[in-house]
Chain A
Amino acid sequence: MGVHLLQLAAHLDELVPLRCFVEEKTTDLQIAADKIHDILLSVDELVTNIILHGYRGREGSIEIQLELQGDSLIVFLRDQAPLFDPTQVPPPDITLPLEKRPIGGMGIHLARHLMDEMQYRVTSSGGNELILVKRNVLPYKAQRLE
């Protein structure tokens, strides 16, 4: 009952339907409004990275799965772009001089900051799977239990 799936073409025009999907399903799941924005921004940033830096203009698809487990929302992002583990991207070091700064990484940094957990694995079909966890997304439910 709490699992929602969307498949998108790897194209920037798909970001609007992506956000509509995340917004609609998280609202249906009664997730708190501030948490919805965090999830929305994280998914938008990471899917943008998959499109721009994973597929790099090549045809491909991205699968987004939202799953409510207890009071945590789990987001699965799956693609068949060349293997890339965003969890290994070092956080930006603001003490480094400009010329030594890593290029990019803003979206990954935002997602790391906004989500409680981020895991990466290679799927059995050889694709990328990123698993994001946002905890305590159901404040109303928690309040009812008190």
Chain B
Amino acid sequence: MEIIVDQANGQLPVTILKLRGDLDASNFETVIAKAKELYEMGTRRMVIDFSQVPFMGSSGLVALHSIALMMRGESGINLEAGWQAFRSLEHTQEEGAQQYVKLLNPQPRVSRTLELTGMNAFFEVHTDLETAVFSFR
């Protein structure tokens, strides 16, 4: 898994996390660690670019959720928590999709994993980087 970080300015500053490679149990903690590093450097809004992620397992969902909680200032989830992670999303669901992490260009297999678990309800998906960056208000 290669992770490339970029910055963009829409109405607000946004960090772009571009992932390259499959996102699975072997590397999801690396993605969380990178997001934590960026959070500590001041990042509060993030676009995660999935254009070059052919596959994502449930570990990837844990990473996404953990990063979304982190960006809104909550502590990350217990990585061993499994379905508990989804439970803690319930109050997020009441508010609609969270506004801190947005996804760019998930490929069909990644979209399917998001849909199967209902995680697509919590993340805005964009197909264009500029639109994604300017969607933060």
Task: Give chain A's interface residues, CB within 8 Å of chain B.
Answer: 12-13, 15-16, 19, 37, 40-41, 44-45, 48, 51-52, 92, 94, 98, 101-107, 109-110, 113-114
Residue pairs across A and B with Cβ atoms less than 8 A apart, 17 shown, are A12-B25, A12-B26, A13-B26, A15-B25, A37-B108, A40-B109, A41-B55, A41-B116, A44-B55, A48-B59, A103-B81, A103-B82, A103-B84, A106-B82, A106-B83, A106-B117, A114-B116
What is the bound-complex CA distance between A94 and B84, given in angstroms? 10
Report if A103-B58 is in contact (Cβ < 8 Å); known contacts: A15-B25, A37-B112. Answer: no
Report if A52-B83 is in contact (Cβ < 8 Å); known contacts: A40-B55, A106-B58. Answer: no
Q: What chain A residues lie within 8 Å of B109 (beta carbons)?
A: 37, 40-41
Contact partner, A48, options B25, B86, B87, Cβ 8 Å: B25
Query: Is the beta-carbon distance between A105 and B58 smaller than 8 angstroms?
Result: no
Task: Give chain B's interface residues, CB within 8 Å of chain A.
Answer: 22, 24-26, 55, 57-59, 61, 80-88, 108-109, 112-113, 116-117
Interface majority SS (helix, strand, loop, mixed), chain A: helix
Interface majority SS (helix, strand, loop, mixed), chain B: helix
Query: Is the beta-carbon distance between A113 and B116 smaller than 8 angstroms?
Result: yes
With A44-B55, A101-B84, A103-B82 given, name 8 new contacts (CB 8 A): A12-B24, A15-B26, A41-B109, A45-B57, A101-B87, A106-B61, A109-B83, A110-B116
What is the bound-complex CA distance between A41 and B25, given in angstroms? 12
Q: What chain B residues lie within 8 Å of A101 (beta carbons)?
A: 83-84, 87
Query: Is the beta-carbon distance between B55 and A19 smaller than 8 angstroms?
Result: yes
Chain B residue, CB-CB nearest to A114: B116
